[in-house]
Amino acid sequence: MDTDDIPKFNSTMQKFRKEQNMSAELKWSKVFIQKLTEYKRFIEYFFALNNTDNIHYHCLIVDNHQINHKKFSQGDCESGFYKFYYQLLLHCFGKKYCTNENRVRLITHLDYRNTNYSLSTLKTVLNSGINKKCDINYDPFVSIEPVDSKKSDLLQICDILLGAMGYQKNGYPILATSKKAKIELADYIAFKAGLKNLSDNTLRGNYRFTIWNLRLKK
């Protein structure tokens, strides 16, 4: 999303919240049948922006059971975690939007987490990586900062989308104990995205809404 569009997005979200009586934080864990219609309306607003190129969405899915931090990150789980952020930001944002002719500046907000890992290190490594891999002669990542999701409607929308993906990816819809509201909302998100499901990789031609299942080295 362009920086100039964020105030309008936030303003519209606040209007929606008032209309739908949804002042609390939007979260996948809070999706219940009583508020399913309201959550669908927020998803409709997201895809209205997505389909008109006002906002794009890219995600990386990693199988936690296959991660080997000991082998690839010297046993440092935090360093290993941010290596996945590196892959997502480099390939799905840096490579997609940045060229020497189109000198896009990327301001990155990550959901706040308690960590000792330096985000300035991530920014430096990202800029170095895209300079080398894409022959770009400027540093597109100008800022990487943590944000409290309770104060960010964008991050809350991401939480819902990611929650739906995880729900389908982990096979919850086939369990007898699964919540009908979550099954229905996940299916609705896939429908609005024009996908059969939220588990598989999207086609290479997709550029507005992409899902990338990362294949890990063994």
| pLDDT values of the chain reduced to their tens digit, one per residue, 218 residues | 788 888 888 899 999 899 888 988 999 999 999 999 999 999 999 999 999 999 999 999 988 777 665 665 566 677 778 888 999 999 999 988 998 998 999 999 999 988 888 899 999 999 999 999 888 999 999 999 999 999 999 999 999 999 999 999 999 898 888 999 999 999 999 999 999 999 999 998 889 999 999 887 66
Q: Cα 181 from chain centroid? A: 21
- Which DSSP category does 181 fall into? H
Query: Which of 57, 24, 76, 62 lies closest to 161, judged by CA?
Result: 57
Whether 117 maps to a domain, the answer reads yes
Query: Which of 136, 164, 137 lies closest to 31, judged by CA?
Result: 164
Counted domains in the chain: 1
Structural domain of 80: 3-213
pTM score: 0.89
**Which residues, listed in sequence order, are joined to residue 57 by a DSSP beta bridge?**
209
Question: Residue 131, SS3?
Answer: helix
Whether 160 maps to a domain, the answer reads yes
Whether 60 maps to a domain, the answer reads yes
**Do 55 and 1 form a contact (C-beta atoms < 8 A)?**
yes
**Do 141 and 127 form a contact (C-beta atoms < 8 A)?**
yes
Whether 147 maps to a domain, the answer reads yes
Query: Which of 94, 107, 117, 112 lies closest to 144, judged by CA?
Result: 107
Whether 218 maps to a domain, the answer reads no
